[in-house]
Amino acid sequence: MQTEETINRPSKKFNTERLAVTAVMIALASVLSIFQPLQLPQGGGITIMSMLPMILVAYRYGMLWGLGSSFIYSVIQMFLGFGTVTAFFMPGDDQQVWWKAVLIVFMDYILAYTAMCLGGLFRKSANPSVALCLGAVVALSARYLVHIISGAVFFGAWAEWWFTDVMAGDFGASVLETYSGFGLAAFYSVVYNGLYMIPEIILTSIGGFAVGKIPIVAKKK
């Protein structure tokens, strides 16, 4: 005869395992995010597939669990980027009106990284490799879109300087002749954020496809 304790034991073991795996994945993603082979001057950089662990969490345990896990990860990223975050609030060239600074932090950290929960969007697929690959593309594309909007709205003032000094030449001159105002700011944000997000999307989707071939890693719970 099964007691209530016996019946509940598998559930407790399951929850403990889920919490442990999630904690390890958040820690792994945080460590990987620190190593950036390419880092851009105004923020952002290419990492070693740092988003893949969070994609795996959303795939293994579902988007709702992935939402909470990704939110925790976004808060950690905010603290890891403490120098950048505080620059928006401190007097100086980077200082923003307080409500703009709050919105920047919300969009570029909380919203952008919490979007990793979309990695579980295709978890019902019979092919784990395809599900993880597509999940990575959707999740990181959502992050890219958030950065584009934030960059266009809050950092568009750097657009003319970027295309004049950093990307000087025929391309920069052509862009400045073609775009102006918010159009220039939006184009700048697409190009700037694309320099690290597009490679990140490609690398993470390839990594997701490869990891999907490992049954114990891609096993859904």
Q: Report the percent of the chain where pLDDT is more than 90.
A: 57
Confidence of residue 2 (pLDDT cuts 50, 70, 90): very low
Residue 3 lies in a domain: no
In a domain, 128, yes or no: yes
Residue at 60 is within a domain = yes
Instruction: Provide the pLDDT for residue 84.
Output: 66
If DSSP states are collapsed to H, E and C, what string results for the chain? CCCHHHHHHHHHHHHHHHHHHHHHHHHHHHHHHHCCCEECCCCCEECCCCCHHHHHHHHHHCHHHHHHHHHHHHHHHHHHCHHHHHHCCCCCCCCCCHHHHHHHHHHHHHHHHHHHHHHHCCCCCCCHHHHHHHHHHHHHHHHHHHHHHHHHHHCHHHHHHHHHHHCCCHHHHHHHHHCCHHHHHHHHHHHHHHHHHHHHHHHHHHHHHHHCCCHHHHCCC
More confident residue, 71 or 163: 71
What confidence score (pLDDT) does residue 4 get? 43
pLDDT at 18: 92
Domain housing 185: 14-218
pLDDT surpasses 50 at 7? no
Whichever domain contains 162, its CATH number is: 1.10.1760.20
Residue 7 lies in a domain: no
Determine the pLDDT at residue 184: 93
Q: Is residue 5 part of a domain?
A: no
Q: Is residue 171 part of a domain?
A: yes
What total of structural domains would you count in the chain?
A: 1
Which residues fall within 8 angstroms of residue 15, CB to CB, at 6 or more apart? Answer: none
Asked whether residue 4 is domain-assigned, the answer is: no
Give the tens place of pLDDT for each residue, 48-60: 999 999 999 999 9
pLDDT at res. 22:
96
Given a cut of 90, is residue 186 above it in pLDDT? yes
**Res. 203: pLDDT tops 90:** yes
Does residue 196 lie in a domain region? yes
What is the band of 76 on the pLDDT scale with cuts at 50, 70, 90? very high
Higher pLDDT, 81 or 62: 62
